Amino acid sequence: MGAGIAITGCGSAAPESILTNHHLAQMVETDDEWINTRTGMKNRHIAAPTESLSQLSAIAANKAIAMAGISPIDIDLIILATSTPDDMFGSACKIQGLIGASSAVAFDLTAACSGFLFALITASQFINTGVHQNVLVIGADVMSRWVDWSDRTSCILFGDGAGAVVCQRARENSLLSFGMYSNGSQNDSLNLNYHGQDKPLVDGITAQQGSYNPISMNGREVYRFAVAKVPEAISKAMFQANLTADDIDWLLLHQANQRIMDAVAKRLKIPSSKILSNIAEYGNTSAASIPLALDAAVRDGRVKPGDTIAASGFGAGLTWGSAIFKWG
């Protein structure tokens, strides 16, 4: 078997409860029209207190594994991209237990909304070097647990969900090119910061204990960053893969704002009909947004085996990345 990867299965899951723009208008000073015209969002799914990130991820993972035609025991690596684990020690192993992938090693990876793409690229490295054969990549976030529900500039944006893909070693490489980037000097633009209080332990030694502040975001700055860096990252990946915009069947972007997706498509000269968007239904689900949108498009038949997909994730860090891959 050669050293390439094929993406052979996908799956997704979202909580049942739906928070509409009209609901948000009851909570903060906003309205359906503002949210819809500025972001393209109408609904977002919100995890109930009884639901967990691990449960949602396990549902998405089982669907992806079933589509790939393998069983959980065949999975030898699980990478969970999340910024909102159920457990600060990580939730990948919990998911491993829930799906019965007892031959796998599992770990979390944090790169905010770029997390799924970074995890997919990481998975490809383990497959290309021959270390792993069947890798489960999950992107999942329960942002509703970390949003400031009194801040209208950010609470309208986020929702919860999980998406997964199975990557397998294959003769031909379906991941045609990729790039990963970060810029720590803009770290202050988007944070979910630790906040603690001093706790004196003994004379001369003080520890700190606390929790996390809700999400804080400079929306305009993140917007500007995304419309500048995402087209650049995709253009570089297209160049590396020796492809032009005409070769791209689908544009699969992190679902942060419909206006960002439209601006990126325009800049790349890719028709807007090729944008895979589910933002109206789910809002911004952070690491889950790319696999959620992919799964919907595969299951309703828009994305077909052999289609070329240009994907890009971007967000806190700031981080961003691109990947061009063939589906199936």
Count of residues in the chain: 328
Number of H helices, E strands in the chain: 10, 15
Residues 6+ apart with CB under 8 A from 131: none
SS3 113: helix
135 is a site residue for ligand UT7 (CB under 6 A):
no
Cis amide prior to 318 (ω within 30 degrees) = yes
| Identity of the residue, 6 or 156, whose beta carbon is nearer to ligand UT7 in the bound complex | 156
Between CA 226 and CA 233 the distance in angstroms is 10
Site string (239-278) toward ligand UT7, x via CB under 6 A: -----------------xx---------------------
Among this protein's residues, is 254 annotated catalytic? yes
Contact 323/237 with Cβ under 8 angstroms? Answer: yes
Task: Report how far apart the first and last C-alpha atoms of the chain are (Å, whole number).
Answer: 17
Residue nearest to ligand UT7 (CB): 219
220 is a site residue for ligand UT7 (CB under 6 A):
yes
| Identity of the residue, 315 or 321, whose beta carbon is nearer to ligand UT7 in the bound complex | 315
39 is a site residue for ligand UT7 (CB under 6 A):
yes
Q: Which of 92, 41, 89, 88 is nearest to 256 (CA)?
A: 41
- Which residue in 10, 93, 113, 155 is the catalytic one? 113
Among this protein's residues, is 113 annotated catalytic? yes
CB of 284 vs ligand UT7, minimal distance in Å = 5
SS3 73: helix
Between CA 314 and CA 11 the distance in angstroms is 21
156 is a site residue for ligand UT7 (CB under 6 A):
yes
Query: For ligand UT7, which residue of 4, 90, 214, 219 counts as binding (CB under 6 A)?
Result: 219
CB of 254 vs ligand UT7, minimal distance in Å = 6
Footprint of ligand UT7 (CB under 6 A): 30, 34-35, 38-39, 113, 152-153, 156, 190, 217, 219-220, 222-223, 226, 256-257, 284, 315
Active site residues: 113, 254, 284
